[in-house]
Chain A
Amino acid sequence: MRRSRCVAAALMLIVLASTAASLSSPAGAAARGKLVLAWHAGLASRWLDPQEHDGTATPDNFFTAIHDGLIKNQGTALFDHPALAEKFTVAPDAKSATFTLRKGIKFHNGEPVTPQDVKFSYENYRGAKADVFKKKTERVEIVDDRTIRFHFKEPFLDFAILFGTANVAAPGWVVPEKYYKQVGADGFKQKPVGAGPYRLVRHEPGVKLEMEAFDGYYRPVNVKQLVMTSVPEGATRVAMLERGEADIIYSVPGELVSRVQKLPGVTLAPVLSGSWFLEFPGFQDPKSPFRDKRVREAVSLAIDRRAMNQAESAGFGKVSGNWINNDVQYALEWPEIERNVERAKQLLREAGYPNGFDVDWVTPLPAWYSRGERLIGQLREVGIRARMQTMERGVFFQRLQGGIKEWPGVQIIFHGIRIAGSWSFWYEAHVKCGGFNSRDRLCIKELDAKFEQYERSINPAERKKLAEEIQRAILEKHYLVPVFRHAFVNAIGPRVAAQKWQDVFPTITTGYAYPWEDIKLKEQ
C-alpha cells in the first residue's frame, strides 16, 4: 500500500510538473493545425537573414515568422511596438537609445537572447541602410545582462523609425552571435535560427519553407505548422485556394478577382500597396517638352486616375494627390487631382504645343504593362502620343541606376514602389541627386539643399516644416506626377478565422499577412 501511494504521489508530481511546464511556454500548449501560404514569386535565401536585408519590402514576410526584433511594427504601432525589448527609451537629445530585453527569451536552438547577441546583430549588420547606422553610431554599450544602450555621434532622430521598420532595415532583428559565426552567413541562410514565433524545420531552396511553432516564444502561437510555398503562376494559386490546398494566397490576378470573391468562405484582402507615379527624365534639358511646368501639369491633368484604379485594382486602390504614401512620417496630404482634359489641352496650347507632341517611350515598371497601355491611351486624348517600352526587369533597374544617359530623348518613366518609415526615404530614393533610383535624373538644387537642412536638423517641428515644403514644391511643380496607389490583392481561405480581412492583413507598413503567431484557424 505504501508503494502505491508513492506511485500516486509521483504521478501527481509529474502531472503538476508538466502542467506547470506547459503553462510556462504558452506557445507549445495551444499550437495546432497547419496553415499554407501560396507565395507569388521565387524564394530568395537572403530573405531568411535579417543581416543582409536587401532594402525591398519583401523580406519582412519571412522575418516576421522566423525572427524577431527589439521593436517592430505591430497592431497600430508603425515601428515602436516592443517585441524582444519589453521597453525602450530614446534620450531627449536623441543621442542615445536604451532597450531592455524581456526575461526568458530564447533562440530556436535553446540559447538565451542576450545583449551580446543584440550588439553583434547591430554591429555586424550589412543590409540596407547599414551605412547610415554605421555613420551615426558611436558605440554600443551593454549596460547589464538585459539592457543595452546605443550611443550616437550626433542626434539621430530617425533612429527608432529605421530600427523598427522591418521592410526598410533590420539591424534590430536579433540573430544568435555564436551560431551565426559558426555556420557563416551562407550557412545561416540555409538553416536560420532566430527568436521568432516559428522555427524553420525544412528548407527546400526556392520551393518551400516548412516551419513549426516555437514553444519558447514569449507570445502564444496559434497554428502549429506554417508552410510557405512558391507558386509563381497566379491561376494556379487561385486553383489552390479553391481546392483548399492553400489557406492564404498573395497576388490574385485582376481577371480572377471577381471569381475569388464568389468562392464560399473566401475573403478578399485588397491591401493598399505601392504608389505609382511618373518621372520625366531629362526634363531639365531645354529641348525637352517637359521642361515647361505647364506641360507636366497637362500630363497630370490628362490622367484618369479613377479609371486606372478601377481597371488595374478593381477599384480597391486609392487615388491620392501625393506620390508618397500617407502612412509614413511627415507625408503630406494632398487633394486628389481631378481629370481635366480641356484644361490640359489649354495648358499645352499655352506652352506651345497646340497639336500635342510625341513622347518616344513610356516605360512602366516591368511587367506592369497594362497600366502603361492605359496611361498611353489617356495621354492620347490630349494629343500626347507615346509608345510603350517593355524590357526585362533586370534591364529596367540597370537603366535606372545608369542615370540619364540611359534615357535619351523624350521619355516618361512609370514607377511603382513601396517604401515605409519616413517620407525622407522616398525623397532619398527617387528625387535626391545620386539617389538609388534617381541618380542624376532630377538633381533639383533648391530641394536637395532643403533636404540637407532637414537631415541636419534636430528640431522635429522644423523638420516637419521642411518636409512639407519640399513635398509641396515637388507637387506644385509636378516634378513627379502621382497616378494612384494600387492594391495588392490577396485572398484568405475558409479555414482561417477572420472576421474581416484586416485581421490577417492588419497594417499599412507591410502588405503581407502578419503577425503569424496571431493568425488562427477556425477549428481553434
Chain B
Amino acid sequence: MWQFIVRRLLYSIVTLLILSATIFVIVRLTGDPVSLLAEAGARPEDLERIHRQWGLDRSWPVQYVSFLQNIVTGDLGKSFNYRLPVSELYFQRLPNSLTLGLVATLISILVGVPAGIISAVKVNTWWDTLAKGVALLGLSIPGFWLGLVLILVFSVWLRWLPTSGAGDWRHVVMPSLALGWYFAASMLRLTRSSMLEVLGSEYIKLARLKGLPDVVVIAMHAFKNALIPVFTLAGVNMVVMVNAAVIIEVIFAWPGIGRLLYEGIFNRDFPLVQGVVVMAGFMIVGINLIVDILYAFIDPRIRLTR
C-alpha cells in the first residue's frame, strides 16, 4: 500500500512540474506584458526599467527556477495588475469560488443523480426519454446563455433575485444553477449508465430472483456500487468548477478565481496567471491523488497496478 501511495505521490509531483513549466512557457509566449503595463508616452528606457523591476529581463530558465523556488516557500509571485501577492489574491477569492462550486455540485448531484436513477430503473419508458431530453438540454446550452436568461427572468421580470455579485444565499442561486446545469446533465448520464450496468449484473439478478422487491434491490445493492464513480466525478467536477468557472463569473460579476484568471490573461498578468493555474493544478492533482488512494483502499487489486 505504501509503495502505491509513494508512487502516486511522485507521479503527482512530476505532473505539477510539467504543469508549471507548461503554464510558464505559454504565458510568456503570448507576448510581452510590459507594453500593457507601461503608460502611454513611455520610452524604451521606461520599458526596460519595468522589465528589470519585474525580473523579466532574465532568461527564461533563470526565471523558471526562481519561480519554482518561490513556490516552495509559498510565494506565488506578485500580480502586475493588482500589486498584491498572488497567493493573497487567490485565497481572498477562493471562498467565493468554493461556495459557487459547492452549490453547483450539490445542484448537479441533487438533480442529476435521482433523475439518472429513475431513468435507469424505468429504462426506455417516457421517464427515460424525458430525462435524456433534459440531459440533452443541459449539454447543448452554453452556460452564458442560460445565465443571462436566468437574470432576465428571475431578476428583471420576477424581481425575486439580485442580478449579480456576491452576498447572501440569494446571490448564489442563479450562478450556481447556470454553472451546475451542464454537470447535472453529465451526472444524469453517468448515473444512468452506471445503474444500468449494475442492474444488469448477475448480483442484482440474483437478488431479484430471491424475490426482493425492486425498491430494496435498488436502494441497498445497486445504489452503492453504481454511485461510487458518480461521486468521484462530482468531486473532480467541483474542483474544476472552483477554478475555471470563468464565463459564469464574468456574467454574474462573481468575485471568484475564474474571473481573476480571465482578467489576468487579458492583462498579460504573468505572475497572476501562473500562480492561479499552479494553485488550480495543485487542487486538481491533489484531489485525483486522494481519490486514487481511496480507491486503492476500497479495491486491493488497484494497488497492484502501475
| A interface list, Cβ under 8 A from B | 42, 44-46, 52-56, 127-129, 131, 185-186, 189-190, 204-208, 229-233, 235-236, 239-240, 242-243, 245, 392-395, 397-398, 401, 428-429, 436-437
Nearest to B272 among chain A residues (CB) is A206
A54 CB contacts on chain B under 8 angstroms = 38-40
Name the B residues within 8 Å of A46 (CB-CB).
81, 83
Q: Which residue of B lies closest to A233 (CB)?
A: B251
In the complex, what residue of chain B is closest to A232 when comparing beta carbons? B250
Contact B163 A245 (CB under 8 A): yes
Q: Given A232-B253, A239-B152, A394–B31 Cβ distance below 8 Å?
A: yes
Q: Is the CB of B39 within 8 A of A55?
A: yes
Interchain nearest-CB distance for A493 vs B (Å): 13
B255 within 8 A of A: yes
Q: Does B164 contact A (CB under 8 A)?
A: yes
Q: In the complex, what residues of B have CB within 8 A of residue A394's CB?
A: 30-31, 33, 35-36, 266-268
The answer on a CB contact under 8 Å between A129 and B83 is no
10 interchain residue pairs of minimum CB distance: A55-B39, A55-B40, A207-B255, A54-B39, A128-B39, A186-B83, A231-B253, A239-B163, A45-B82, A205-B82
Report the nearest B residue to A231, measured CB to CB. Answer: B253
Chain B residues in contact with chain A, CB under 8 A? 30-33, 35-36, 38-43, 46, 78, 81-84, 89, 92, 148, 151-152, 155-156, 159, 162-165, 250-253, 255, 259-260, 263, 266-268
The minimal Cβ–Cβ distance linking A257 to chain B, given in whole angstroms, is 17
The residue in B251, B253, B266 that gathers the most chain A C-beta atoms within 10 A of its C-beta is: B253
| Cross-chain contact A128 with B255 (CB below 8 angstroms) | no
B32, B39, B78 — most chain A CB neighbours (10 Å):
B39
- Separation of A436 and B42 alpha carbons in the complex (Å): 7
Closest B residue to A48 by CB, please name it.
B83
C-alpha spacing A243/B36, complex, angstroms = 36
A255 to B253, CA, bound (A): 20
Partner of B83, one of A45, A131, A229, A232: A45
Q: Are B41 and A401 within 8 A (Cβ)?
A: no
Q: How far is the CB of A183 from chain B (nearest CB, A)?
A: 11
Smallest Cβ distance from B146 to chain A, in angstroms?
Answer: 13
Q: How far is the CB of B41 from chain A (nearest CB, A)?
A: 5
Given the contacts A55-B41, A204-B92, A397-B35, A236 and B81 also touching, CB distance less than 8 Å: no
Contact A239 B151 (CB under 8 A): yes
Q: Give chain B nearest CB distance to A48 CB in angstroms.
A: 10
> Which of A55, A207, A231, A437 has most chain B Cβ within 10 Å?
A207
A429 to B39, CA, bound (A): 12
B82/A206 in contact, CB under 8 A: yes
For B84, give its contact among A45, A232, A236, A393 (CB under 8 Å): A45
The smallest C-beta distance from A208 to any residue of chain B, in angstroms, reads 8
| A-B pairs with beta carbons under 8 Å apart, 30 shown | A42-B81, A44-B81, A45-B83, A54-B40, A55-B40, A128-B39, A128-B40, A129-B41, A131-B46, A186-B84, A189-B82, A204-B92, A205-B82, A205-B89, A206-B259, A207-B255, A229-B253, A231-B165, A233-B250, A233-B251, A233-B252, A236-B151, A236-B251, A239-B151, A239-B152, A240-B164, A243-B155, A394-B30, A394-B33, A429-B41
